[in-house]
Amino acid sequence: MNILEVRGVYKSYENNRVLNNIFLSVPQQAIYGLLGPNGAGKTTLIRIINKIIMCDEGEVLFKGQPMTRNDLHKLGYLPEERGLYNKMKVGEHLLYLAQLKGMKSHVARQVVKKHLKEFECIDWYNKKIEQLSKGMQQKIQFIIAIMHAPEFIILDEPFSGFDPVNTEMIKNKILDLKKNGVTFMLSTHRMESVEELCNYVTLINKSKKMIDGEKNKIKEQFSKNIYEVKGHCTRTLPETVNGLYSLIENEVEEDTDLKRLVFKLDHGKKTNELLQFLVNEMEVVSMREIVPDMNDIFISLVNNVDNE
Dump pLDDT digits (tens) for 13-37: 988 999 999 999 999 999 999 998 8
Distances from the Cα of 119 to the Cαs of 52, 53, 84, 174, 188, in angstroms? 28, 32, 18, 13, 22
For residue 101, name the pLDDT band (cuts at 50, 70, 90).
confident
Per-position b or e across 224-234, b if 16+ CB within 10 A of its CB? ebbbebbbebe
Dump pLDDT digits (tens) for 201-227: 999 998 999 999 999 999 888 888 999
Give dist(CA 178, CA 180) in Å, integer. Answer: 5
pTM, entire model: 0.86
- Per-residue pLDDT, averaged over 295-306, amounts to 81
For residue 87, name the pLDDT band (cuts at 50, 70, 90).
very high
- Per-residue pLDDT, averaged over 151-166, amounts to 92
Spell out the long-range contacts of 135-139 with Cβ–Cβ below 8 A and sequence spacing 24 or more. 135/161, 135/162, 135/163, 135/166, 137/82, 137/84, 137/161, 138/162, 139/166, 139/170
Query: Is the alpha carbon torsion for 75, 78, 83, 87 positive or negative?
Result: positive
pLDDT at 173 over 70: yes
